[in-house]
């Protein structure tokens, strides 16, 4: 990340002394999207469940639109999934008055059509319930007692709900682009939403790190399936997240924007990040809240030689890498 925006966020259990390798193969990082609702079987939207390996979600969506001869904006998905992974997710294609395609002659490298069905609403960003993960950390170099203690504590108490560094772009590129946007310089239209999301995420991480460092969150008790609200969740008719636009909660932090009333937490962000906050207000973005802490569902782990295999579920908006960083320092 750009030196200007390097942010060393605090660890809940102290910085791990152990190390491991992540995503050495696509099968080391498996993601299965959970919709949280059953498609109705009727309607003008064709839902396509895909399994992709080494493929970008946006690239798959573009190729689906081309194959179906529809506009790119008529293909939607709840979330972008990792490219360097094996991921299963749904996409919706708007096909009013058209027969259900069978996709028999559609060939995309690394992409398999798992199932199709119909539904009466399109998929919106953040409209899924969450994701299930199966992760292999290779070549673990760590004290076994410390490792088990960290894993057990995450299972029992959860971990800080940081946004992953991928949110900020390679080398902080999304943050740098946001600076250009707020300075009135032109940026690519498709980059705008990513930039705004990145600055709000960065400020959230900085504030959460302050809470973790002070020990304020060490005694939080959170339930399994602690649903997480983010800036996309409020947009979907079938949203699995919860958003709040005002009020204070000891267990929730702010994604900065305009609020019905000022709060000490929002004022604190304004004092730390005045230019970003001013830019977000000018664009009329509404403030929302996000859980500061998250507990993984059905968290299981086992060792296989020098590798650690983990499986768990996370709500929409939470990052598996934020869990992993509490266990070991990792490289890809």
* Overall size of the chain counted in residues: 332
- Concerning whether 284 is annotated as a catalytic residue, the answer is no
- Quick count: other Cβ atoms within 10 Å of Cβ 15? 10
CB within 8 A of 11, min separation 6: which ones?
Answer: 212, 325, 326
Burial environment of residue 195 by CB neighbours within 10 A (0 to 12, 13 to 18, 19 or more): buried
Q: Which two tokens stand for residue 51?
A: 């399994």
Q: Under a CB-based contact definition with an 8 Å cutoff, are residues 323 and 22 in contact?
A: no
Q: Under a CB-based contact definition with an 8 Å cutoff, are residues 2 and 172 in contact?
A: yes
Q: In which residue are the tokens 């709500």 written?
A: 315
Q: Under a CB-based contact definition with an 8 Å cutoff, are residues 163 and 205 in contact?
A: yes
Check 28, 79, 82, 291 and give the catalytic one. 82
Annotated catalytic residues are 82
């Amino acid at each position: 990340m750009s030196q200007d925006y390097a942010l060393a966020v605090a660890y809940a259990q102290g910085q791990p002394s152990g190390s491991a390798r992540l995503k050495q193969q696509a099968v080391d990082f498996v993601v299965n999207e959970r919709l949280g609702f059953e498609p109705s079987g009727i309607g003008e939207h064709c839902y396509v469940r895909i399994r992709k390996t080494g493929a970008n979600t946006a690239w798959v969506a573009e190729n689906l639109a081309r194959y179906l001869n529809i506009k790119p904006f008529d293909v939607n998905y709840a979330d972008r999934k990792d490219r360097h992974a094996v991921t299963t997710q749904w996409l919706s294609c708007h096909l009013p008055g058209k027969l259900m395609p069978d996709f028999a002659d559609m060939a995309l490298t690394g992409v398999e059509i798992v199932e199709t069905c119909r539904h009466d609403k399109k998929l919106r960003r953040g409209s899924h319930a969450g994701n299930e993960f199966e992760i292999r950390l290779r070549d673990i170099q760590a004290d076994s007692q410390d490792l088990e203690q960290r894993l057990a504590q995450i299972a029992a108490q959860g971990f800080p709900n940081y946004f992953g560094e991928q949110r900020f772009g390679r080398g902080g590129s999304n943050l740098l682009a946001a600076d250009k946007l707020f300075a009135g310089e032109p940026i690519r239209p498709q980059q705008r939403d990513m930039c705004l999301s990145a600055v709000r995420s960065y400020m959230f991480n900085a504030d959460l790190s302050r809470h973790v460092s002070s020990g304020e969150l060490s005694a939080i008790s959170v339930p399994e399936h602690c649903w997480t609200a983010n800036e996309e969740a409020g947009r979907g008719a079938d949203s699995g997240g919860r958003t709040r636009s005002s009020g204070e909660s000891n267990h929730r932090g702010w994604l900065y924007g305009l609020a019905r009333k000022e709060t000490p937490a929002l004022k604190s962000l304004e004092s730390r990040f005045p230019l970003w906050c001013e830019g977000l207000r000018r664009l009329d973005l509404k403030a929302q809240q996000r859980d500061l802490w998250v507990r993984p569902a059905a968290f299981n782990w086992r060792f296989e030689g020098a590798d650690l295999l983990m499986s768990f579920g996370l709500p929409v908006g939470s990052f598996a890498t934020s869990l992993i960083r509490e266990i070991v320092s990792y490289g890809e």
